[in-house]
């Protein structure tokens, strides 16, 4: 047989195959509609689900709703036959907090609080007859507020932020507070007291957040870190700060002026009795990612997995509010979760009709995003399918609204991360949009240095940090972001469905493409060398 005619025949076959595939993509995507979106979101964002806060009843209800949907449409439970990936998570809070100065008690969660990350599971107690005041806590070659001071075993008092003034030669190296605290920990300080004027302006929401405690993901790294010694950090307002400095017959304003005028540190030992203690209360939390798996149809490609994610948790009930206290999270991220459910159903129908994707697809709604991307972090540390076999992650977080920039035309979606690691993924995603959907793709936030840091603020990042190409689909923030007003009445359901269809068509191309997207860039965006 002549090679020329064989090549023509192969090209013709490939052409007809692509036409059929495109028709199938369109056919099975027809279930991604505004009506189906409303069907799911009206449940997930209802008051009955109480804002879906991680570790609470509303989140458990949402997880069960999603699992039931995955089971109903025929997806497999990939976690030993189950749909729930259970997460080791605890809630850590302070059952009792005490700070006394010169025998007089300060009021916990009014005058001071404890930095949660500085607390071990056992809590702490310290007593001291004096403290070491070290100004701004700066240590450089030319300006060292710890010079001649022995930090070990001392309670150290520093300002949270600021600089010594123009006369001080700090060499342009005013370290951030975390770095200062790390240094003091390395020097075996007994404790650190930080004067932070922002404490004076804390409202009910800030104090409520501190009172509620924090969720901790018990990864291997965290478990090991919890066994290490920690230096307690007490954060105080200006009133307590002035009380402490009164032991040296000065105050915040005067000592800052002295440092600024002289350009020299004013570090000194202050004789004043100080004691503090914290009793830590820890309770296990029920939390789970919900996974639905669609096996690929091609024996050569089915071990490769595309992961589609959205977080189903939100921030729950805010009892400090009057009136409506439920943060329903219709847009954040009920809309993204709804998108995942509809996309999963479209692919499941294609599979049942004999047109399933060549590669496997994992549909995963994660928990704990609002607590620090915890659910996706857990999956990235405990993957059900090898990360090496994960070809890409398409993450949907808020696709039901719009923002002020697009108030006159909501036919848009922000895409973030698309070209960060893979030129292939960027090309495939943009071509899918041009071929099927025609939404304006706004790349305003598509960089690592944007001050909003959106690239680091949703679940795709826990894939990207492992070198897996990602696209994050997002409609921007709005006045109801993290407020009770984020309700289904504000959702643009036609655009929610249209954005979900963009993710679906992109997924279709990725799951059926001849090759997985090549990772041709490093984490810093520089080209990979062969």
Through-space distance between the first and last CA atoms of the chain, rounded to whole angstroms: 38
Taking 80 as the threshold, does the pLDDT of residue 530 lie above it? no
Instruction: For residues 490-500, give the mean pLDDT.
Output: 98
Instruction: For residues 201-222, give the mean pLDDT.
Output: 90
Taking 90 as the threshold, does the pLDDT of residue 228 lie above it? no
Instruction: For residues 268-280, give the mean pLDDT.
Output: 96
Percentage of the chain beyond pLDDT 70 is 95
Over residues 460-483, the pLDDT tens digits come to: 999 999 999 999 999 999 999 999
**For residue 441, what are the β-bridge partners?**
413
Taking 50 as the threshold, does the pLDDT of residue 6 lie above it? no
Q: Taking all residues of the chain, what is their mean pLDDT, rounded to a whole number? A: 93
- pLDDT at position 16, please? 34
Integer Cα distance of 316 and 482 in angstroms: 10
Taking 60 as the threshold, does the pLDDT of residue 417 lie above it? yes
- pLDDT at position 189, please? 97
Instruction: For residues 240-256, give the mean pLDDT.
Output: 97
Confidence of residue 523 (pLDDT cuts 50, 70, 90): confident
State the sign of the Cα–Cα–Cα–Cα dihedral 368, 369, 370, 371.
positive
Q: Residues 86, 288: contact at Cβ < 8 Å?
A: yes
Confidence of residue 121 (pLDDT cuts 50, 70, 90): confident
All domains of the chain in start order, with CATH: 34-87+287-512 (3.40.630.10), 91-284 (3.50.30.30)
Least confident of 11-15, 221-225, 436-440, 516-520: 11-15
Q: How many residues does the chain have?
A: 530
Taking 70 as the threshold, does the pLDDT of residue 192 lie above it? yes
Taking 50 as the threshold, does the pLDDT of residue 20 lie above it? no
- If phi > 0 it is left, if psi is from -120 to 50 it is alpha, else beta; for residue 291 that is beta
- pLDDT at position 311, please? 98
Confidence of residue 307 (pLDDT cuts 50, 70, 90): very high
Choose among 53, 91, 59, 55: nearest CA to 283: 91
Q: Residues 61, 49: contact at Cβ < 8 Å?
A: yes
- Between 220 and 299, where is the model more confident? 299
What's the pTM value of the predicted model, to 2 decimals? Answer: 0.87
Q: Residues 184, 151: contact at Cβ < 8 Å?
A: yes
Instruction: For residues 208-218, give the mean pLDDT.
Output: 90
Q: Residues 92, 299: contact at Cβ < 8 Å?
A: no
Three-class secondary structure of residue 216 per DSSP: strand
User: Cα torsion at 378, 44, 310, 295 (round to 10°)?
Assistant: 90
Q: Which two tokens stand for residue 303?
A: 């071990």
- Between 3 and 367, where is the model more confident? 367
Taking 90 as the threshold, does the pLDDT of residue 225 lie above it? no
Helices (H), 228-312: 238-245, 252-262
Taking 90 as the threshold, does the pLDDT of residue 2 lie above it? no
Sheet holding 412-416, edge to edge: 84-86, 288-294, 360-366, 305-311, 390-396, 470-474, 412-416, 440-442
Taking 90 as the threshold, does the pLDDT of residue 21 lie above it? no
- pLDDT at position 167, please? 84
Q: Residues 35, 361: contact at Cβ < 8 Å?
A: no
Over residues 132-169, the pLDDT tens digits come to: 999 999 998 889 999 999 999 999 999 999 989 888 87
Instruction: For residues 262-290, give the mean pLDDT.
Output: 96
- pLDDT at position 331, please? 98
Confidence of residue 172 (pLDDT cuts 50, 70, 90): low
Return the H-helix or E-strand segment holding 362.
strand 360-366
Exposure letters 201-211 (e unless 16+ CB within 10 A, then b): ebeeeebeebe
Q: Residues 367, 458: contact at Cβ < 8 Å?
A: no
Taking 80 as the threshold, does the pLDDT of residue 328 lie above it? yes
Integer Cα distance of 48 and 58 in angstroms: 7
């Amino acid at each position: 047989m002549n090679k020329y005619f064989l090549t023509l025949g192969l090209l013709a076959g490939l052409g007809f195959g692509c036409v059929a595939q495109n028709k199938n993509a369109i056919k099975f995507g027809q279930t991604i509609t505004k009506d189906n979106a409303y069907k799911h979101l009206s449940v997930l964002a209802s008051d009955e689900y109480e804002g879906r806060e991680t570790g609470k009843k509303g989140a458990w209800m949402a997880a069960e709703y999603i699992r039931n949907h995955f089971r109903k449409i025929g997806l497999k439970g990939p976690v030993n036959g189950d749909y729930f990936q259970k997460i080791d998570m605890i809630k850590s809070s302070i059952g009792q907090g005490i700070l006394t100065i010169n025998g007089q008690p300060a009021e916990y969660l009014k005058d001071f609080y404890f930095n949660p990350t500085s607390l071990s599971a056992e809590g702490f107690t310290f007593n001291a007859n004096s403290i070491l005041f070290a100004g701004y806590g700066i240590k450089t070659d030319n300006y060292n507020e710890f010079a001649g001071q022995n930090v070990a075993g001392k309670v150290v008092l520093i300002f949270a932020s600021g600089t010594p003034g123009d006369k001080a030669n700090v060499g342009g190296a005013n370290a951030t507070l975390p770095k200062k605290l790390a240094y003091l920990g390395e020097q075996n300080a007994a404790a650190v007291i930080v004067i932070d004027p922002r404490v004076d302006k804390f409202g009910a929401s800030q104090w409520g957040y501190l009172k509620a405690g924090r969720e901790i993901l018990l990864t291997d790294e965290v478990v090991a870190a919890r066994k290490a010694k920690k230096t307690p950090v007490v954060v105080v307002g200006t009133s307590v700060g002035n009380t402490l400095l009164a032991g040296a017959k000065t105050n915040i304003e005067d000592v800052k002026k002295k440092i600024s005028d002289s350009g020299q540190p004013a570090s000194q030992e202050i004789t004043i009795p100080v004691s503090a203690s914290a009793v830590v209360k820890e309770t296990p939390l029920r939390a789970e990612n919900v996974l639905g798996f669609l096996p690929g149809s091609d024996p050569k490609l089915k071990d490769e997995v595309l992961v589609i994610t959205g977080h189903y948790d939100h921030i729950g009930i805010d009892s400090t509010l009057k009136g409506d206290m439920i943060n329903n999270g219709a847009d954040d991220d009920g809309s993204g979760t709804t998108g995942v459910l509809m996309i999963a159903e479209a692919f499941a129908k294609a599979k049942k009709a004999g047109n399933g994707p060549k590669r496997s697809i994992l549909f995963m709604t994660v928990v704990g995003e609002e607590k620090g991307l915890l659910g996706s972090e857990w999956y990235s540390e405990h993957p059900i399918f090898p990360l090496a076999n994960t070809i890409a992650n398409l993450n949907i977080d808020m696709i039901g609204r719009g923002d002020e920039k697009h108030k006159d035309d909501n036919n848009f979606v922000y895409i973030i991360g698309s070209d960060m690691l893979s030129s292939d993924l960027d090309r495939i995603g943009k071509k899918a949009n041009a071929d099927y959907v025609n939404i304006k793709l706004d790349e305003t936030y598509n960089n690592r240095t944007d001050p909003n840091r959106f690239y680091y603020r949703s679940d795709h990042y826990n894939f990207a940090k492992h070198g897996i190409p990602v696209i994050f689909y997002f409609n921007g923030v709005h006045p109801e972001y993290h407020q009770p007003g984020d309700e289904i009445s504000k959702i643009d359901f036609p655009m929610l469905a249209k954005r979900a269809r963009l993710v679906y068509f992109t997924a279709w191309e990725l799951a059926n493409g001849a090759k997985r997207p090549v990772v041709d860039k490093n984490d810093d965006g520089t080209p990979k060398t062969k």
